[in-house]
């Protein structure tokens, strides 16, 4: 089943929604042709649970079609056999100001993806792409908010990688420490909704990082346990439309209350590898 639910804001929220506007974005995605769960590098993955590739493909195609319907451009990178997690394109790197830095993966199973994504960036971009020298899982752990990058660490991306990214893109980086293994990448615990608005799940972060988040984003949307547990924060926003799992019903409601337009998709097969909407989506910023 691949369903897309587009809900119309109630009249009370309509004025707030009117003040928000979506802008067209450019994404890179990778079809889950070779998707499987044969190893476990996060607590969501259980190699004994069967995966339905046809269903994964249908769910992924629905996500791609949803983006295109919203007016976004989607490029696709050729999937490589033997790299089942390559569908999670967000981890491929960071592209900002037309410059690309490809990932350097933590686990040996995903390491070849770094060079595969670097080659794609190199061929697609006008400036040569580099590959990170430090452990860096791309947009899984680096989320751009306006002219700031929020950077996760604790499970995958290293603190030295934060410095490397800040120097390379000449953008300040705010380090955030993840403490719950279920939320091993920053994009599983925090969603960027526009240039200054985020949603996050406090329990995924250390006390110090919670304080940083509260100070910098006092108006943030706070996710419930139930929404975080279905990766409801693994979302992609264009400033108005927010694409996220349809299972995060509380988050849908909170987004609507804040004038956003939540769009639910079903990505249950990919959740078996610990990924959802944002994981499948890398933003190419010109
Ligand atoms: N199985 C993948 C891993 O553990 C999932 C990656 C999800 N991607 C993300 N951006 N959170 O690396």
**2 pLDDT tier (thresholds 50, 70, 90):** very low
132 touches 122 (CB < 8 A): no
* pLDDT for 107: 97
* pLDDT for 16: 61
Predicted model pTM = 0.93
Q: Which residues of 28-52 are buried (b: 16+ CB within 10 A; e: fewer)?
A: bbbbbbbbbbeeebbebbeeeeebe
* pLDDT for 126: 77
Residue pLDDT, tens place only, 55-104: 999 999 999 999 999 999 999 999 999 999 999 999 999 999 999 999 99
> Which atom number of ligand 1 is nearest to the Cα of residue 188?
11
From atom 9 of ligand 1, which residue's Cα is the shortest distance away?
A: 279
Residue 21 to residues 6, 141, 194, 217, 262, Cα–Cα distance (Å): 16, 26, 10, 20, 13
Say yes or no to pLDDT of 6 above 70.
Answer: no
Using a 6 Å CB cutoff, which residues line ligand 1? 41-42, 45, 85, 88, 90-91, 110, 140, 185, 187-188, 273-275, 279
- Ligand 1, pocket-test mutation among 39, 44, 86, 88, most atoms within 8 A of CB: 88
Catalytic residue numbers, as ranges? 185, 279
From atom 8 of ligand 1, which residue's Cα is the shortest distance away?
A: 279
User: Would you kindly state where each structural domain of the chain is located, as residue ranges?
Assistant: 4-283
How many A from CA of 192 to the centre of ligand 1? Answer: 17
Stretch 9-17: mean pLDDT: 52
How many A from CA of 17 to the centre of ligand 1? Answer: 32
* φ, ψ dihedrals at 95, nearest 5°: -125, 115
Residue pLDDT, tens place only, 192-218: 999 999 999 999 999 999 999 999 999
How many A from CA of 166 to the centre of ligand 1? Answer: 22
Residue pLDDT, tens place only, 22-64: 999 999 999 999 999 999 999 999 999 999 999 999 999 999 9
**187 pLDDT tier (thresholds 50, 70, 90):** very high
Q: Which CATH class is domain 4-283?
A: alpha beta
Cα 103 versus chain centre, distance: 14
How many A from CA of 114 to the centre of ligand 1? Answer: 14
Decide the pairing of beta strands 99-102 and 93-96. Answer: antiparallel
> Which atom number of ligand 1 is nearest to the Cα of residue 187?
11
Residue 14 to residues 17, 21, 72, 109, 260, Cα–Cα distance (Å): 5, 12, 23, 47, 10
> Which atom number of ligand 1 is nearest to the Cα of residue 138?
10
Say yes or no to pLDDT of 11 above 70.
Answer: no
* pLDDT for 233: 98
């Amino acid at each position: 089943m691949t369903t897309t639910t587009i809900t119309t804001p109630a009249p009370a929220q309509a004025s707030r929604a009117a003040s928000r506007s979506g802008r067209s974005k450019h994404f890179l995605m990778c079809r889950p042709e070779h998707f499987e769960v044969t190893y476990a590098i996060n607590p969501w993955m259980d190699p004994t649970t069967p995966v339905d590739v046809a269903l994964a493909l249908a769910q992924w195609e629905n996500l791609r079609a949803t983006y295109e319907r919203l007016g976004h451009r989607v490029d696709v990178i050729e999937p490589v056999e033997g790299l089942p997690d390559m569908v999670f394109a967000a981890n491929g790197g960071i592209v900002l100001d037309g410059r690309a830095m490809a990932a350097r993966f933590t686990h040996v199973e995903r390491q070849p993806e770094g060079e595969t994504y670097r080659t794609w960036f190199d061929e697609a971009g006008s400036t040569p792409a580099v590959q990170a020298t430090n452990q860096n899982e791309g947009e899984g752990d680096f989320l751009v908010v306006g002219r700031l990058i929020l950077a996760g660490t604790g499970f995958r991306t290293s603190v030295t990688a934060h410095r490397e990214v800040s120097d390379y893109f000449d953008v300040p980086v705010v380090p955030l420490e993840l403490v719950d293994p279920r939320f091993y990448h920053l994009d599983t615990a925090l969603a960027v909704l526009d240039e200054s608005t985020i949603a996050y799940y406090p329990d995924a972060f250390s006390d110090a990082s919670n304080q940083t988040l509260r100070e910098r984003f006092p108006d943030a949307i706070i996710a419930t346990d139930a929404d975080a547990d279905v990766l409801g924060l693994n979302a992609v926003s264009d400033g108005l439309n927010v694409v996220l799992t349809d299972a995060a019903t509380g988050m849908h409601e909170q987004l609507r209350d804040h004038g956003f337009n939540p769009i639910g998709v079903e990505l249950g097969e990919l959740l078996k590898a610990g990924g959802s909407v944002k994981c499948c989506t890398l933003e190419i910023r010109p």
